Amino acid sequence: MLSIRNIVKQYANHRALDHVSIEIEKGCIFGLLGPNGAGKTSLIRIINQITAPDEGEIWLNGEKLNPSHISKIGYLPEERGLYKKMEIGEQMLYLAQLKGMSRAEAIKRSRYWFEKMGMESWWKKKVEDLSKGMQQKVQFVATIVHNPELIILDEPFSGFDPVNVEIITQEILELNRQGATIIFSTHRMESVEQLCDNIALINKSHKILDGRVRDIKNSYRNNTYHIEYNGQSLNLEGSDSIFEVLHQSEQEEGNEITLKLKELKNSNDALAYLLPRVHVMQMTEVVPSIHDIFIQQVTNLN
């Protein structure tokens, strides 16, 4: 749906994006991940046509990005803001109309969302009279009120309280089920790891990794398992051919061992070795988090 091709964005004394290419499929939840200052917001601003790239182009639904696409994109910027002294209802209509909706349609959609989020009584209120949490809801509704096909959320959960995070996550998932494509941009990678189908990692203006979360994780699995067991003083004699012990601790609270399988061995081999010796309580595969993968990738590159 969204095709980012070879984007370069040069500022006066630094390059924010250096030949970045990303493909985002229709209907997926995409995570644009990377530390602060990596170039995420620059890329998002280019997708939103707030700034233009120095090189490269962006295609949306098979068309080169142009002003007619504005109405198809909903954008929640990292820096949140609304007109403090304007009535919320009016404000919602204004923002929806700026996105190209007719007034009648804007009223209908705003009413629908106000009802859905339990904000009906706020229509005539001003933003400055609302609490922070309420403002966040209003901001979210303002982002999606015009039925965008592509929803871009920059640091979506920063500043949101846990209750709102849950509400808004559910709404986002529902919008996604109805066909909207979602882009999450965040430096807190663990916060969206479970939500995203696909991700791209950006560091220092370069894309360093992208793909399906499952595939990425699979490729970074290294046959490491974590096992909790009962039973005293596990003697690891003869285990060398099956696995390598990375970590072992025997304490009152419980005993645990982290091990890495040797090549051509699987978890059953390890279990077969352990079962006669101790009482295995739990066995889990140690899968690296996106954050770990990111760190690993960055150190590899360096």
Interaction site with another protein (CB under 8 A): 12, 45, 48-52, 54, 70, 73, 75, 77, 79-86, 94-95, 97-99, 142-143
DSSP 14: S
Nearer to another protein, 60 or 209 (CB): 60
Write down the least CB distance from residue 166 to another protein, Å. Answer: 24
Query: Among the residues of the chain, which ranges form H helices?
Result: 40-47, 88-98, 103-116, 132-144, 162-177, 213-219, 267-274, 290-301
The first and second tokens of residue 133, run together, are 């949490």
CB of 99 to another protein, least distance (A): 5
Amino acid making up residue 34 = G
The DSSP element (H or E) to which 112 belongs, if any, is: helix 103-116
- The residue among 49 and 176 lying less far from another protein, judged by its C-beta, is 49
| CB 6 within 8 Å of CB 55 | yes
CB 24 within 8 A of CB 79: no
Q: What are phi and psi of 172, to 5 degrees?
A: -65, -45
Q: What is the smallest separation between the CB atom of 7 and another protein, expressed in angstroms? A: 14
Rounded least distance, CB 98 to another protein, Å:
4
Closer residue to another protein, CB minimum distance, 52 or 272 = 52
C-beta closer to another protein: residue 135 or 224: 135
User: What's the token pair of residue 34?
Assistant: 């990377």
Question: At closest approach, how far in Å is the CB of 12 from another protein?
Answer: 7
Nearer to another protein, 182 or 293 (CB): 182
